[in-house]
Amino acid sequence: MAVELIVFDWLALWIMVLAVALNAFFAVMWYDETGKRRVERHEAMVKIGHTFPMVSFLIRAHNQEPSILSCVQSLFNSAQDYRGPSEIIIVDDGSTDDTYQAAWSAIGSLQKEMPQIRARVLKHMAHLGEQEAARTGANKATGEYLVLTDAATPCDCVSLNTLIDIISSTQRTMITHEVRLPPREGKTAKTCVISLYRADALRHTLNEEHGAKELKL
């Protein structure tokens, strides 16, 4: 009887040791996996913060009702392809045609397919020029970077991701990209420019120049 009790005690002890060892093993595995996930989440957040900044598209338009639809389409395409958040701001610089209404109509139609993209149209009651249109848009924009061009330039012909990578890595305040438009409808080919700015730098320049003009008046 005594022998049987001793054998039973040793068996129970080994079972307890095995159970504790298994629990410790799985606890270590769980902790290690949780730690890896924390690190991955942290790296992802850091990457997003540095690689995918908010970008505002600023488009100046004046009497471009016939072409504003294709302009808005290219803006939505570029915003859709961009890796980070973005917004679209079109400034109607005192158009005498229906550019303002046509732009809003195009936005309403495209937002049904891409509701995550924010877009709006601002309007000058008089034609003030490209610089004032840029200033109006820049002061309303919320992006860390600003894409500035006019309604005749297709923004989806260049990768915004590439431009952001370049300006971030070089620490420059502005870079430009030339777009060669082919001849059409009897018109000659022309070169348009897409400019990418750091928002604070462009805003400072535009507001400073505006203030200087007001003092001259």
**57 within 8 A of 86, measured Cβ to Cβ:** yes
For the cut 70, the answer to whether the pLDDT of residue 176 exceeds it is yes
Q: What is the pTM of this model?
A: 0.71
The partner residues of 187 in beta bridges, in order of sequence, read 184
For position 214, what pLDDT does the model report?
53
For position 184, what pLDDT does the model report?
60
DSSP 187: B
86-93 and 55-61: which strand pairing? parallel
> Which CA distances in Å does 15 have to 7, 23, 31?
13, 12, 24
Q: Determine which of 17-31, 73-87, 118-132, 191-205 has the lowest per-residue pLDDT on average.
A: 17-31
Q: Encoding tokens for residue 145?
A: 């970077």
For position 30, what pLDDT does the model report?
63
For position 211, what pLDDT does the model report?
57
For position 44, what pLDDT does the model report?
47
Alpha-carbon span 78 to 102, nearest angstrom? 20
More confident residue, 27 or 106: 106
- Using one digit for the tens of pLDDT, what is the confidence trace for 83-129? 999 999 999 999 999 999 999 999 999 999 999 999 999 999 999 99
More confident residue, 98 or 3: 98
- Compute the average pLDDT of residues 127-138: 94
What phi and psi values does residue 210 have, to the nearest 5 degrees?
Answer: -65, -40
For position 42, what pLDDT does the model report?
45
Q: Which residues contact 12 (CB under 8 A, 6 or more apart)?
A: none
Closest CA to 73 of 105, 97, 47, 30: 105
- Using one digit for the tens of pLDDT, what is the confidence trace for 148-174? 998 888 888 888 999 999 998 888 999
**175 within 8 A of 169, measured Cβ to Cβ:** no
- Compute the average pLDDT of residues 50-65: 90
DSSP 141: -
- Using CA atoms in the order 15, 18, 24, 26, what is the torsion angle rounded to 10 degrees? -100
For the cut 50, the answer to whether the pLDDT of residue 22 exceeds it is yes
Give the pLDDT band of residue 18 (cuts 50, 70, 90): confident
More confident residue, 134 or 12: 134
